[in-house]
C-alpha cells in the first residue's frame, strides 16, 4: 500500500542523518517526496497538501527534545501524521453481530461478503448472509454460489424488487450469530439509494457498517466516504483488489474522512483472499522498524533519566511528588508539551491548559511545593485550609497561588487518567514501545 512511499521517505530521511539542527532544505525535499508518493498513491489532494504543510511546519518549528537527533525528530512527526491517515486498528469481535456492507457499484461487496462469511465460519461462528441487492442481474446467484462454497446460510429472493422487504424477511428467517447484509452498489449522488441504505441500517440495527472500497479509487474516495458516513456512520473500511497495482491511497482518504480504520484487505478473487491489516506494523515497515525502535528507546531513556514514573502516572497514582519531578524534568527535557509529543498519541488531544504553562509559573509551583511535607506530596488529599495557609507562608506565596497550583495538579491528574482511558491512549503506546525495546 501507498506504493514507493517507504523508499521515498527512507531516502529523504537519510539526508537528515547525523544532523543536529533541522535542515530546512532537507525537510522541504522530504515533504516534496512525500507529497509525490502520496499523490501517486491517490491520497486526496487537499489532504496531502494539509499533511505535508503540517509536517513541514512542525519539523521546522518544534524544538526537538534534548538528545533527539534532527532525523529522529522529523521521523517522529512523519510517523504521527501518518497514523492520522491510516487510522487505528479495528478489532473484529467474534460474537453475535450484524454487518451491513456498503459501497460503490463493482467495488467488491459481494465477493468480500463471502470472504468475511468464511472468516467468521472458520472462527466457529454460525453465519447467515442476506442478499439485499435487488438490482444487479445475477446478484442472488452470485452470492448464493459463493455461500454454498463455504457452507453458510444465504437468504434472498431474485424476484423481489424491494430490498427492505427481503431484509425484514431475512432477519426473521436467519437465526445465525453473525448476519451479513450484502447490498447493491450505490454512490453519493444517488439519493434514493442512499435513503435505502439508511433504512436498511435502521431496520437491521447493524452492529457494523463497513464501506467496501476498490484500491484503485482516486480523488472521489473522500467525497463518497463522506456521504456514506453521513448516511450510516461508517465504522470500518475494507480495501479490495489490493492484488493489483493500485496503491490504496483513495481508500485511506476514506478512512480518515470517516475516522474509522481498515478492517480487512481483499487481495484476490477467490474466497480465501482476505487479509488482516495492522496499522502499526504497516507504518513501522513504511518508515523502517529500526528507526522507530531507536526513537522509542530514546524516549524511554530520557524519561528514566529524569525519574518520572510514567507507568505510575498512567495508572492514576499521580501525586504532587510526581508533578514536582515532572516540573524538574522540564528543565532538562524541554516543555511538557514536547515530552508528550515524543509519544505518537495518534489523534488524542491533550488539553491546552495542561501544557501551556510558562516556565516562570513552573518555577513558582516548584517553590511552593518545596514548602510541602512528604505526606502532602504523596497524598494531596490531606490538603486542607490550614495546610494551604502554612504552605503559602513558607513559600512566600499568596493563598491564590497555592490554590491555583492545586487546581493545576488536579487537572494534570485528570489528563493522565484520560490518557489512560483513551482508546488510542498512551498506555497502548507505552505497551507498544515496550514491545520494541
Partner 1 sequence: MFKALKEKLFSVRQRLETTIEEQKLDSDLTIHSAPSQGSPEPSALSESPAPTPPPRESEREKKAPGFAQKVVSLVRDREFIIAAKDIEDSLSDLEIGLLESDVAFSATDAILTRVREDLTGSKRKIGTSVDAVITNALSDALLSVLGEGVNILDFIASREKPVKILFTGVNGTGKTTSVAKVAHYLTNHGLTVAIGAGDTFRAGAIEQIDVHGERLGLKVIQHQEGSDPSAVLFDTVQYAKAHNIDIVLGDTAGRFHNRVNLMNQLAKIRRVIQPDLIVYVDEAVAGNDAVIRAEEFSKSVGMDAVMLTKVDMDPKGGAAISIAHAVGKPLIFIGTGQGYDDIMPFEPKAIVADLLAGEA
Ligand X SMILES: Nc1nc2c(ncn2[C@@H]2O[C@H](COP(=O)(O)OP(=O)(O)O)[C@@H](O)[C@H]2O)c(=O)[nH]1
* Contact residues: partner 1, CB under 8 A: 36, 39-42, 45-46, 104-108, 135-143, 145-146, 187-189, 214-221, 224, 241, 243-247, 249-250, 269
94 within 8 A of 123, measured Cβ to Cβ: yes
Strands (E) in 269-386, as ranges, are: 274-275
- Which of Mg ion, ligand X, partner 1, none interacts with 103 (beta carbon under 5 to 8 A by kind)? ligand X
Q: Should residue 266 be labelled a site residue for ligand X when binding is judged by CB under 6 A?
A: yes
Q: Check residue 99 and give left, alpha or beta (phi > 0: left; psi -120 to 50: alpha).
A: beta
Are 38 and 51 contacting, i.e. CB atoms less than 8 angstroms apart? Answer: yes
Rounded to a whole number of angstroms, the minimum distance from the CB of residue 267 to ligand X is 5
DSSP 172-201: HH---SEEEEEE----TT-HHHHHHHHHHH
Picking from 57, 58, 38, the residue whose alpha carbon sits closest to that of residue 47 is 38
1 or 383: CB nearest partner 1: 1
Provide the minimum distance between the beta carbon of 109 and partner 1 in the complex, in angstroms, as a whole number: 10
Q: How far is the CB of 204 from Mg ion (least distance, A)?
A: 17
Q: Which of 8, 47, 69, 110 binds Mg ion (CB under 5 A)?
A: 110
* Residue number with CB closer to partner 1 (145 or 161): 145
Position 156 contacts ligand X (CB under 6 A): no
Size of the site for ligand X (CB under 6 A): 19
What is the three-class DSSP state of 216?
Answer: coil
CA separation for the pair 28, 4 (Å, rounded): 18
Per-position b or e across 312-321, b if 16+ CB within 10 A of its CB: ebbeeebbbb
The distance from CA 203 to its chain's CA centroid, rounded to whole angstroms, is: 29
Which residue reads 458516513 in cell numbers?
A: 229
Among ligand X, Mg ion, partner 1, none, what binds residue 267 when CB lies within 5 to 8 Å by partner kind?
Answer: ligand X
* Residue of the chain from 14, 122, 136, 304 that contacts ligand X (CB under 6 A): 136
Residues paired with 128 in a beta bridge:
153, 179
Is the CB of 213 or the CB of 314 nearer to partner 1? 213
Q: Which is nearer to partner 1, 87 or 108 (CB)?
A: 108
Least distance between ligand X and beta carbon 189 (Å): 9
User: Shortest Cβ distance from residue 20 to partner 1 (Å)?
Assistant: 34
Binding site residues, Mg ion, CB under 5 A: 109-110
Amino acid at each position: 500500500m501507498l506504493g514507493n512511499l517507504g523508499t521515498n521517505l527512507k531516502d529523504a530521511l537519510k539526508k537528515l542523518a547525523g544532523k543536529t539542527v533541522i535542515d530546512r532544505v532537507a525537510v522541504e525535499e522530504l515533504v516534496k517526496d512525500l507529497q509525490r508518493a502520496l499523490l501517486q498513491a491517490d491520497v486526496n489532494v487537499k489532504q496531502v497538501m494539509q499533511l505535508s504543510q503540517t509536517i513541514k511546519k512542525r519539523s521546522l518549528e518544534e524544538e526537538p527534545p534534548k538528545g533527539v537527533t534532527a532525523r529522529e525528530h522529523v521521523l517522529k512527526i512523519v510517523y504521527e501524521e501518518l497514523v492520522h491517515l491510516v487510522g487505528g486498528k479495528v478489532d473484529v469481535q467474534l460474537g453475535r453481530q450484524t454487518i451491513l456492507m456498503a459501497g460503490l457499484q463493482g467495488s467488491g461487496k459481494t465477493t468480500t461478503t463471502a470472504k468475511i462469511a468464511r472468516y467468521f465460519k472458520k472462527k466457529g461462528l454460525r453465519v447467515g448472509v442476506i442478499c439485499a441487492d435487488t438490482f444487479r442481474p445475477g446478484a442472488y446467484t452470485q452470492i448464493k454460489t459463493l455461500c454454498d462454497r463455504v457452507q453458510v446460510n444465504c437468504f434472498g429472493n431474485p424476484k423481489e424488487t424491494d430490498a427492505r422487504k427481503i431484509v425484514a424477511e431475512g432477519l426473521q428467517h436467519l437465526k445465525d450469530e453473525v448476519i451479513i447484509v450484502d447490498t447493491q452498489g450505490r454512490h453519493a449522488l444517488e439519493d434514493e439509494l442512499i435513503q435505502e441504505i439508511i433504512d436498511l441500517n435502521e431496520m437491521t440495527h447493524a452492529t457494523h457498517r463497513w464501506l467496501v472500497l476498490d484500491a484503485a479509487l482516486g480523488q472521489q474516495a473522500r467525497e463518497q466516504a463522506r456521504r456514506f458516513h453521513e448516511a450510516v456512520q461508517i465504522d470500518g473500511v475494507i480495501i479490495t483488489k489490493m492484488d493489483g497495482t493500485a496503491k490504496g491511497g483513495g481508500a485511506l482518504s476514506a478512512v480518515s474522512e470517516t475516522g474509522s480504520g481498515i478492517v480487512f484487505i481483499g487481495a484476490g478473487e477467490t474466497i480465501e483472499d482476505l487479509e488482516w491489516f495492522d496499522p502499526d506494523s504497516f507504518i513501522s515497515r513504511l518508515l523502517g522498524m529500526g528507526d522507530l525502535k531507536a526513537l522509542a528507546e530514546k524516549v524511554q531513556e530520557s524519561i528514566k533519566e529524569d525519574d518520572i514514573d510514567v507507568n505510575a502516572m498512567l495508572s492514576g497514582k499521580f501525586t504532587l511528588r510526581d508533578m514536582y519531578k515532572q516540573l524538574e524534568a522540564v528543565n532538562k527535557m524541554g516543555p511538557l508539551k514536547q515530552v508528550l509529543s515524543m509519544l505518537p498519541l495518534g489523534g488524542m488531544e491533550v488539553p491546552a491548559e495542561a501544557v501551556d504553562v510558562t516556565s516562570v509559573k513552573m518555577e513558582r509551583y516548584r517553590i511552593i511545593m518545596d514548602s510541602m511535607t512528604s505526606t502532602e506530596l504523596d497524598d494531596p488529599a490531606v490538603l486542607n485550609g490550614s495546610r494551604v495557609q502554612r504552605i503559602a507562608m513558607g513559600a512566600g506565596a499568596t493563598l491564590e497561588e497555592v490554590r491555583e497550583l492545586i487546581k493545576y495538579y488536579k487537572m494534570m491528574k485528570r489528563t493522565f487518567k484520560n490518557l489512560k482511558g483513551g482508546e488510542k491512549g498512551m498506555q497502548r503506546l507505552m505497551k507498544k514501545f515496550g514491545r520494541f525495546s
